[in-house]
Every structure is written in C-alpha cells, then in structure tokens.
Copies of this chain bind each other. A is one copy, B any other.
Amino acid sequence: MRLECIAIGTELLTTTRVDTNSVWLAQRLASLGLGFHRKTVVGDGREDMAALFREALERSDFVVCTGGLGPTFDDLTKEIWAEVLGEALIEDPEIWQIIQDRFAALKRPLPDTNRKQALVPARARALRNPMGTAPGILWENANGQAGKWIVLLPGVPREMKYLWEAEIEPLLKPMAGAPMHTLRMMVGSSGESAVDARTTPLRTKHGHLDWTILAGLGAVELIARSTKPEELEAARMDFEAELGADLALLGQGSLEERVLDLLRERGEMLAVAESMTGGTVQSRLTGVPGSSDAFKGGAVVYSASAKAILADVDPALVQVHGTVSEPVTRALAEGIARKLGTAWGLAITGNAGPTEDKAGKAPIGASFMAVWGPKGLASQTLSFPGSRVDIQARTATWALDFLRRQIQACR
C-alpha cells in the first residue's frame, strides 16, 4: 500500500510555521508497520491544490490531507477534492445540527461561514469531530476504485489526532501487517549521544528490534518496536538492569506524570519555586489532570524581593551569594516547602541569557536546582547550551528528573 501525506496551507509555505502533523502521522503509521513514501506541502491556491490532488490520486493508494477544512474563505480542501472527483457537495443535516449545538453550548454567535463545514462530498462520509467544528471526510473507495483511500483531516493538531485515532486507525489495522508492539523507555538527566553510546551494546544484542532514539530538550526516549512482545520483554529486563535509577519511566507518559505518581504513592505534596524557568515546571505539572492531588502550589521568584516575600529567603544570603547560586536555590526549596507546608520543595535558579550575570557569577546556561524532602536538601549545578527558551526547557526537564530521583531514593 502506497501512502502519502499532503499538508495544505499557504502559511506552511510562506511563514515559519512547520507541518508537524505529518510527523505525528508518520509515527502512528510506523506502529502499524506502514509509512509515507512522500509528503507534500501546498498553498491555498485552487490550481496548485487540484494539480497535486490529481497526481496523488494517481500514484498513491492512501492519501491523507491535513488543513483547509475550516470555515474561512481560504479553506478549500473539501471543495477541490469534490471537483477533482466530480462529486457534488451535499449538506449533512446531522453535522449541521452538531455545529449549531456546539456554538449554542458556548453561547457564541454562529457565523454564516460555518455552514459550509456541514457540506460533504456525495460519495464520501463525514467523520464527527467532537474537538472542533470541522468534520473529517473519508472516501473508502475513492473515484470508484476499490482500496483507494482519501482522508481529509483538520489542520488543528488535537482535532487531527483525535480523528486519526478514533476513525482512521481502526480501519487501517486490518490492512496493516502483524500489530507492532512498542517498548518506550525515557532516560532522564542525559544527552542523546551519551544514551546512544551507553546503550549501543544492548541495542546490538537486541538488534532484531526496530530501534529509535528521540532526543527532546533534556530527556532521551529509547523506542523499540517488534511484532513479538516477548522480544520486547527480554530487552526491557536488560535495559532496566543497565539503566537503574537513570530509567525515568517505562511505557507511555511524561516525566511530570511520573513525578506526580510517585508523590501520590507516598501521599505527599510538592511546592515549587522557580526563578530561571519562570513557571515552566509548574505549568508542566499542572498540565496533568488531577495534579492538585500532589502539587499544592508555588512561586515564580523572578526578583530578589519575590524570593524573600514568597519563599522566605534571607536577603543576607542573596547579598553574599547572589540570586543565582546554589545556597539561594537550596534556601528557596526549603523555604517554599515550609511556607506551603509540603513534604517536598523543588527550586530552580539560573541564567537563561541573553545577557551575562552582572556579577559574572552565573554565565549563560548556568543552572542550579535543589530539592527539599523528608531526608533534607539535595542540590546540583549544571550548564546547558542553546537559546533562552531551550535552556529554560532543558533545565525544567532536568529539575523534574532530579526531583524524581530524590523521591525514588527516599525509601
């Protein structure tokens, strides 16, 4: 089966916006043992779209298009496909009702332009989209050809992902090879090349698995795929033995979910004081549903006075060591935990740039993190490369992993 992906939108050709939907789709296809032979980005122009759609219909068995299903004048994907296939657009009364209900529930006026989102090409069917107003569109035997698929999905990632998982994957599964199983391991507090080098012998030993290493900003994922679960299980045991406490998590989920789970198991609460990361760690923690069970709150202590007022840091300590220093970070971790009455406190200071610290004590990339817990204080000093936002993101991830290690070590 030849599959291709088309992303539609002039903004993907002319602005710095990048098509990430196709990257996500390629990962999902890989889990079914499938992959794209080509990905194309095209603008909103009628002729450019029509030419591309005709070619894709010719050369591929399965065409997935993202974008151009919205209500505005430049959303033409459905119309152009209907033209290429010579099909009329017909209003689907059920979809139209759903759109009306959605706007009514949100108490928003329903613009006339949204009505075109209820139009469905004659031989396609609409895929209900509870995440937004644009339904997906599916032809299972497009152009009268058996086994020719065309799938139109909204460009908004969460809507695209929902429709793919709920509507398209179940249809693809019977056609895929043997189902692929996945072993996902996240290694915390490590860079990509270090994890690569360290795990080369074990990846060679388990070389019959299909391996991917994905580096994020501050954590590395090792992913193995196989049709045989017992092979993944053997690899898991070997990697657990090799990685020990460096294995941040096994299976799905994020580092912040892992930290919250560990806290919940202990029935303890966390407070956080962030300077350099400016709320990033707390934003990640509170992005997890139910985080209020284990996260009580915290402070963004972006000035010396905020450190004193919100986390009771002694101004004399700041005077001696500077706001960006290990002693002040340790005082922040203990201070915020005592202030909010939690068992655990996490604190972060550092210099994300772009300017050097005036006193020269904290060069760009310098990063301090401290954890206050039942066994007292632990802290570490690190240095990260990259842009301001990169340094903040890497530091946030390393700090969450540092906290995870302290909680796991507290037995």
Fill in one digit per residue for A17-37: 1 if any B CB lies within 8 Å of its CB, else 0.
Answer: 111101100110010000111
Flag if B289 contacts A310 (CB, 8 Å).
no
Instruction: Provide the residues of chain B in CB contact with A39, threshold 8 Å.
Output: 12-13, 40-41
Q: How far is the CA of A124 from the CA of B295 in the complex (A)?
A: 53
Copies assembled: 2
Flag if B41 contacts A38 (CB, 8 Å).
yes
Q: Which of B35, B38, B72 contacts A213 (CB 8 A)?
A: B72
Instruction: For the complex, count residues of A whose C-beta is within 8 A of B.
Output: 109
Instruction: Provide the residues of chain B in CB contact with A37, threshold 8 Å.
Output: 13, 42-43, 45, 48
- Given known contacts A196-B71, A196-B113, A213-B72, A383 and B286 CB-to-CB distance under 8 angstroms: no
Instruction: Provide the residues of chain B in CB contact with A30, threshold 8 Å.
Output: 14
Closest to A42 in B: B38
| A336 shortest CB reach to chain B, Å | 9
Q: How far is the CA of A310 from the CA of B273 in the complex (A)?
A: 12
Instruction: Provide the residues of chain B in CB contact with A287, threshold 8 Å.
Output: 278, 388-389, 392
- Given known contacts A303-B297, A340-B306, A108 and B191 CB-to-CB distance under 8 angstroms: yes
Instruction: Provide the residues of chain B in CB contact with A340, threshold 8 Å.
Output: 303, 305-306, 309-310
| A104 shortest CB reach to chain B, Å | 12
Fill in one digit per residue for A215-251: 1 if any B CB lies within 8 Å of its CB, else 0.
Answer: 1000000010100000000000000000000000000
Instruction: Provide the residues of chain B in CB contact with A14, threshold 8 Å.
Output: 26, 30, 35, 212, 225
Q: Which of B35, B108, B300 contacts A298 (CB 8 A)?
A: B300
Flag if B193 contacts A386 (CB, 8 Å).
no
Fill in one digit per residue for A91-127: 1 if any B CB lies within 8 Å of its CB, else 0.
Answer: 0000000000010001111011110000000000000
Q: How far is the CA of A112 from the CA of B302 in the complex (A)?
A: 41
| A107 shortest CB reach to chain B, Å | 7
A149 at the interface (CB under 8 A from B): no
Instruction: Provide the residues of chain B in CB contact with A281, threshold 8 Å.
Output: 279
Q: Which of B11, B109, B214, B279 contacts A286 (CB 8 A)?
A: B279
Closest to A280 in B: B283
Q: How far is the CA of A388 from the CA of B292 in the complex (A)?
A: 14
A331 at the interface (CB under 8 A from B): no
Flag if A279 contacts B283 (CB, 8 Å).
yes
Closest to A301 in B: B297
A192 at the interface (CB under 8 A from B): yes
Flag if A300 contacts B300 (CB, 8 Å).
yes
Flag if A214 contacts B16 (CB, 8 Å).
yes
Flag if A111 contacts B194 (CB, 8 Å).
yes
Flag if B106 contacts A385 (CB, 8 Å).
yes
**CB<8 Å pairs between A and B, sample of 8:** A37-B48, A108-B191, A278-B291, A282-B300, A289-B354, A297-B303, A298-B299, A306-B340
What are the nearest 9 A-B pairs in CB distance? A278-B286, A297-B306, A279-B279, A279-B282, A279-B283, A297-B302, A39-B41, A111-B197, A282-B300
